[in-house]
Every structure is written in C-alpha cells, then in structure tokens.
Amino acid sequence: MHAVLIGGTGTISTSVTHELLQQGWQVTLINRGTDTPELRELVELGARSLVCDVNDEPEMRELLTSHRELQHVDCVAEFVAFTHEQVERDIRLFLGKTSQYIFVSSASAYAKPARSYIISEGTTLANPYWQYSQQKIECERVLMEAYRKLSFPVTIVRPSHTYDRRSLPLGVHGAQGSWQVAQRMLEDKPVIVHGDGSSLWTLTHARDFAVGFVGLMANTHAIGEAVQIMGNETLTWDQIYSCIGAALGVTPQLVHVSSQMLAAAGPQYDFTGSLTGDKAVSVVFDTTKLQRLVPQFATRTRFDQGVRECVDYILNHPEYQQADPEFDRWSDELIAQLDVFVNHMSAFNAQHHN
C-alpha cells in the first residue's frame, strides 16, 4: 500500500508517518524539503521525501507526472491545506489518481456557542469567531461537493487538540509557543488560565491519533464520511496546567482571566478565535463513529504520562525552548492590572460594608 502525505513532519503527521511505516506502508512525503530532525528520522526509517511546493500547481503536476509510482496511489493525506483554493487545487491534481483523499479539518469548526456539550460528526459546522475554522468549513463543503458530483474519494478527519513531544498543549500562550509558560512555572511566576479553569477539554497524544487516522486509510467505509479523531480522556484546564506543573516538578500558580478580557487585552494573540471560538467551550466528543470504523483505536497515553514525555524531550532539546519575552511582559502586566483591580474592589467593598 502506498500513501502520499502532503506535509508529513508536523505535530499530527509525524506520528501518522511513523504508524504507516510500522504497518508496512510505502510512504512518500511531499514538502518543501526543510531539513528537520523529524524529516531525517522518517527518511532513515524508510519514508521517501520529495521536495516540492504544493502551492505551485504546475510544479506539483510535473512532480506527479515524472514519477510513475505516483500516477495512482492508495491514499493521499493532506495536512497543510487551509483554504478552499488549496483543496480545489488538490481535486484537480488527484482526481482519478488516488483511491482515497484524506483532508485534515478541525473540531473547532463545530458550532459556537455549542448547543450541547456532547459533540458528534452530526453537530452543525458554524464558528463565527475564528477565520481558521470558517476556512476549514469551506474546505469541507468544496470536498463533499466534489464527492457527490465527481466521485472524488474524500474522507474528512476532524482532530481536536492533538499534541506530541515537541510542544506543551496550553490554552494561553504567545506567538513563540508554549515554552515561555513552562519557564514561568519554573521561575515560580503566575501563569494565566482562561475562564475559571473548570471548563472541559480533550487532549489527544499524536501517537494515539495516528492509530485512528491510519485505521481510516484504505478503509472503504470511510469514503464520503467525516470522522472526528480524539481520545476519551476529558480534563479541566486547571487539571491540564497542574499536570504540566507536576511534570516540571513544580506547583503552578494559576491566575484565572475571562476569555473576553484576554481577547480585549491581547488582540495580537487572536484569543477571540482560539478561546471564544475553541478552547473556552466545554466539549465532550462522541467517538462512536471512530470506534466503529477503527475498532483498534484507544486512548493509550494518559495526559499526565504524555506531558512527562513532552517535558523530558523539550528539556533535552534546547531548540524547542523558544523564549518569548514579549508574552512574558504581557503576562506580568496583565496580572499586575488584575491585582490592582482586585485590591481596589476589596477596599471599595470594605469601605461600603463599614
């Protein structure tokens, strides 16, 4: 069986490539050829890497034409398409050349505000808060129309919050990723948690996700279907941050700030989309469809276990310890302003009580 992965070295796709190789698939990665430890490792394990800018359609068409083994493949998995123009390009490139095309969408596409905290594939797609989600919804629409009108063999996958060893999964962080929050914990500085920390969230280790994803590949029952892939462990955000602190060997100081205030105080971080349009909403996912299509799928990595792997890996790989002084200052300033407000209100209440 031959799979072509467009991307192949991201948070999700690296683990998918590992799983495919372990199951004996022939794997071709198409990406821009950026030399990374992940790409080198996958090539050493047997994946083939072809360098091409997939957004350059003539170049991509020439690549597919010049390699006989790419004339028809069992599965194409698209990890880096975010707009309807990109999936329309893929339809032109792969129609008649693959038995299955898997598009990675997002569980953030589900309706906000949620009508029910239990989310299934039948939940309406509508997110007015986040352009990223709106674009994924439009991609899905285009692909399902191609399935109905052209018999384009699409499968849509909707992940929720998936993580691997290279980054700590958080709700509130800066442009450089999660390390600065971990650094604040290590320095015994308070860290910001959106809301009151009690909203529910699902985190899935990429290793577990990959089992579900590969189980859908070359699966005739998955053609024309949308399937959400995530684990069955649901945590509060306070629990998530506490697990991260425990992995670091500290007890984190958690400061709770409403998502609305975070959006107003930090528009440069797009908290309106990432929080109001996603992480601030309590959800529990119904994975009945996934279990039916991929019976072997299971949550094998609890978050407290997975996050220890993350911390150990990041601490031993300085390249993933990206400092973010701007976010650090922003956090200090916001927390200081909250302290002033709390002290003011305490004095006000004391004065009026007396």
d(CA 38, CA 8): 9
The Cα angle at residue 235 between residues 233 and 237, in degrees rounded to 5: 150
Across 204-222, b (16+ Cβ under 10 Å) vs e yields: bbbbbbbbbbbbbbebeeb
Q: What is the pLDDT of residue 354?
A: 62
CATH of the domain at 172: 3.40.50.720
Helix (H, G, I), strand (E, B) or coil at 100: coil
Tell me, yes or no, whether 120 lies in a domain: yes
Instruction: Count the domains in the chain.
Output: 1
How many residues are given for the chain? 354
| CA terminus-to-terminus distance, the chain | 78
- Residues spanned by the domain of 234: 2-336
Q: For the whole model, what pTM was predicted?
A: 0.94
Look at residue 350 and tell me if it is in a domain: no
Nearest to 102 by CA among 193, 229, 251: 229
Cβ(138)–Cβ(156) under 8 Å? no
| Dist CA 34 CA 146 (whole Å) | 32
CA dihedral 55, 58, 59, 62 (to 10 degrees): 140
Confidence at residue 345, expressed as pLDDT on a 0 to 100 scale: 66
CA distance 321 to 262: 24
pLDDT of amino acid 5: 97
Can you say whether the dihedral through the CA atoms of 69, 100, 55, 81 is positive or negative? negative
Residue 242, Cβ neighbours under 10 Å: how many? 18
Residue 92: the pLDDT is 97
Please check whether residue 348 lies inside any domain of the structure.
no
Classify residue 176: in a domain, yes or no.
yes
Q: Is residue 212 part of a domain?
A: yes
In a domain, 242, yes or no: yes
CA distance 117 to 284: 6
Largest CA distance in the chain: 85
Is 37 inside any structural domain? Answer: yes
Read off the DSSP letter of residue 68: G
Is 352 domain-assigned?
A: no
pLDDT by residue, tens only, the chain of 354 residues: 999 999 888 999 999 999 999 999 999 999 887 778 889 999 999 999 999 999 999 999 999 999 999 999 999 999 999 999 999 999 999 999 999 999 999 999 999 988 888 999 999 999 999 999 999 999 999 999 999 999 999 999 999 999 999 989 999 999 999 999 999 999 999 999 999 999 999 999 999 999 999 999 999 999 999 999 999 999 999 999 999 999 999 999 999 999 999 999 988 999 999 999 999 999 999 999 999 999 999 999 999 999 999 999 999 999 999 999 999 999 999 999 998 887 776 776 777 766
